[in-house]
Amino acid sequence: MARTCDGRPMTPSFLSRMPAFITALLLAVSALALPVRAADRDRIEAFLTTTGFDVALDSIALSAESAPRMLGREAGDFGAQWTQLADRIFDTGTMHDMAVAILQETLDQDDLMHAVDFYASDLGQRLVAAENASHMMPDDAGKLEQGKEIFAALVAEGSPRVAYFQRMNDAISSDDSAVRAIEEIQVRFLMAASVAGVLDRPLDEDALRAVLADGRDELRVELRANSLASAAFTYRDFSDEDLRLYTEALEHPQMRRVYELLNAVQHEIMANRFEVLAVAMADLTPGQEL
């Protein structure tokens, strides 16, 4: 398992709220191979609303609570200024504008329309409503615990929903991509904190990556279990036929391309905000310093 800078186990629970992330390289590759027909801002805005990706972006702000744990601390250790700092860095308007700017240059219009056509349907809008509610649900609401119970019951009864959830997870992103993305976010945050003087001692990036790599297999298993549990909870009120249709929609090549890009955008925005947060933490008043 990944560790905090003081050696304690660190579980990035914020990732259970979103689709799995992919590495920053995917974003770079997408930017280098710009589609011939990139979408304009109005279409991107409509796409974000129709697909519910705007709410997924807003939910990134909830991930700020994991930053102190990556340093081996709790948010309360930083005093009253912590909430204000996190709210400022993870401003939803800023993250929204970042996403729109990236998607304007990378999201192909044909792929955009394919995704919008599905999510604008009756089933699509019901799915978006359920996903939006799940994205914004806090960790202490017991979503994962309930989801694990639901999933275990489905396995016990031999429900086809188990296979649907597994296929949906694979269509959105691979387990390895999710693990690599988490590692990259941690590295970028901790190295930024090290350079900013937030930590008691500087970190060696190669050593940090080696430590994270040691926990890769365990983290992969944990993420897979959490993803399936989250799906079981989020889609608990949908019929087997609804889930079959959704699974097949997610497995379409165009939808896979859309999610590959959306995952990359989420990952880049989160990593960027964590880097900015690390630097800003160095400016906390003495009463809130590490």
- Describe the crossing of helices 92-106 and 253-281 by its angle, rounded to 10 degrees: 140
Percentage of residues of the chain with pLDDT beyond 70: 83
Share of the chain above pLDDT 90, in %: 63
Which residue, 11, 17, 27, 55, is CA-closest to 182? 11
Q: Is the dihedral of CA 285, 69, 18, 190 positive or negative?
A: positive
- Residue-wise pLDDT tens digits, 178-189: 899 999 999 999
Per the CB < 8 A criterion, the answer to whether 3 and 211 are in contact is yes
Q: How many CB atoms lie within 10 A of CB 3?
A: 17
pTM: 0.81
What mean pLDDT value characterizes the chain?
Answer: 83
CA 121 to chain centre: 25
Number of other CB atoms surrounding residue 109 within 10 Å: 15
